[in-house]
Structure 1
Amino acid sequence: MTGRVVVAEFAKMRRLRTLPVLAVMVVGVVAFSSLTFTAPGFLDAVDDPDARPWQWLLGGPALAVALISPLLLAIVAGRQIDIEHQGNGWFLSQTSGVTAGGLCRAKFVATGSLVAGATLAQSALVAALGWAVGISVDFPTGQWLGHTASVLVINLVLLALHILLSARVPNQLVSLGVGVLGTFVALTGTGLPPWIGHLLPPWSYYGLAIPVDLTEVGVVDLDPHHPSVIVLGVVGGAVFLALTRLFDRQEAR
């Protein structure tokens, strides 16, 4: 994979409306998180440290990403790959010296950079809204950044999964169906015991990354499984590299 191939992937995205789809993901997460402002008593507690308004607000994106990201990431990945199936792009790339595996890796680098930007943007926008409505207590930097980093890793692993699936199965309805099923698993995973959540990667890991819970008595801190998310990222990256290298050898034959 070379920089030239990655740049070519960015050029293809202009026709694939990748940025608008990712913008929908950002807007959806931010809009869902904004519902926290309508909760009874929230706006009256923005300057009360005991009410922990930042943690209260953080519960919004923690659930929103599980609801929105799995399906939209499947759509984004599917669009990147479907253009190669429809336009005989695999063969054209091979004639120019780029294997199928190399093309998948280039797509991950190009699309992954946009997914990373969208993930960081949605986290920053939710925080900005918190300041805009007047939250004046200390910002929980470690808790907020820890959750954002975990979501970023899970999003990239999901993107890699759908790139592989879409490359192997030309019918993109299969990848879309997996995305729908993944949304169900992700939402269910938010209420599962952690030991069960570890058995349903990568979708259930959104639940493992949730840092707070909203209860009748207020905001309760959870123990997010950030080490498990790191392991997911390492294993997911290794599997992606191994399978795309297998694609290289298969195409060579």
Structure 2
Amino acid sequence: MANEFAKMRRLHVAPVLVIMVIGVVALSCITFTTPGFMASVDDPAAQPWQWLLAGLALAVPLVSPILLAVLASRQVDVEHQGNGWIFSQTSGLTPGHLCRVKFVATGSLVAAAILVQSTVVIVLGALVGITTNFPTGQWLGYTASIAVVNLVLLALHILLSARIPNQLVGLGIGVLGVFVALSSTGMPPWLNHVLLPWGYYALSTPVDTRGGGVVALDPPYMSVVILGVLGGAVFLATTRMFDRQEA
């Protein structure tokens, strides 16, 4: 684990995470420029916190898929370029074990970045003067759900990057994932359940804008939990297959 964090310093992982946080926060705060928003920050009927949460729910799928692909690619490509798979195996660390360590190390930073970006958006909302009741349940539910979806997507990209040396493939899938995630907002829930894992960005959204207002949704949190369990099981099974293969 310490070795992976040491590699991250040379791979400039921190700047990528900073870009992800800044990108999500900046796009979320475009809500502040919505006509009439600043004049309604103290009006409970206008639901300013829900409007800001809707902005966050739009920003996350616009930024996260491509940058998660970049993070996974940088973490794994170094092993392809420097024969790291072979060197690790000679020291008793199998390719699958190495992938699992990479996921835990990178995933911990991704989870922290998600918490930071959500917190910063809340702080900025308070700084611009929103004084209505804070929707704690909606905000916590969305933050936790997005953490699960992003970690499953990170695991997927680690597997892709490990199996396919050409990292342009993983990055291309990351770009495609942005379009799928954004398109899924207009798709029926049953189809979003099939579009693993990008459709779950839409399923996790707790609010929606309709008819010039914002309405509360009922996200299927159990589906997100199942996604996390299924994603974890597939990742473990696949990396155990890597353990039985030559590096």
1:1-253 residue pairs with structure 2 within 5 A? 6-251=1-246
Q: CA deviation at 1:204?
A: 1.0
**Residues 222-231 or 163-172, more deviating:** 222-231
TM-score (norm 1): 0.96
Deviations 1:170-223 (A, max 9, x none): 000000011011111001011111011111010111011111111224111111
Q: CA deviation at 1:228?
A: 0.8
Q: CA deviation at 1:250?
A: 1.3
The alignment partner of 2:214 has SS state of strand
Deviations 1:152-175 (A, max 9, x none): 000000000000000000000000
The alignment partner of 1:251 has SS state of coil
Unmatched segments (≥5 aa) in structure 2? none
1:72 & 1:96 partners in 2: Cα distance? 31
Q: Which amino acid aligns with 2:30?
A: L
The root-mean-square deviation of aligned C-alpha atoms, in Å, is: 0.9
1:225 & 1:251 partners in 2: Cα distance? 41
TM-score (norm 2): 0.98
Q: CA deviation at 1:251?
A: 2.9
Deviations 1:18-50 (A, max 9, x none): 110011110000000110000011111111111
Q: Which amino acid aligns with 2:45?
A: D
1:215 & 1:44 partners in 2: Cα distance? 20
The alignment partner of 2:92 has SS state of coil
Q: Percent identity?
A: 68
Q: CA deviation at 1:112?
A: 0.3
Q: CA deviation at 1:224?
A: 1.1
Which residue is 1:3 aligned to? none
Between Structure 1 and Structure 2, how many residues are aligned? 247
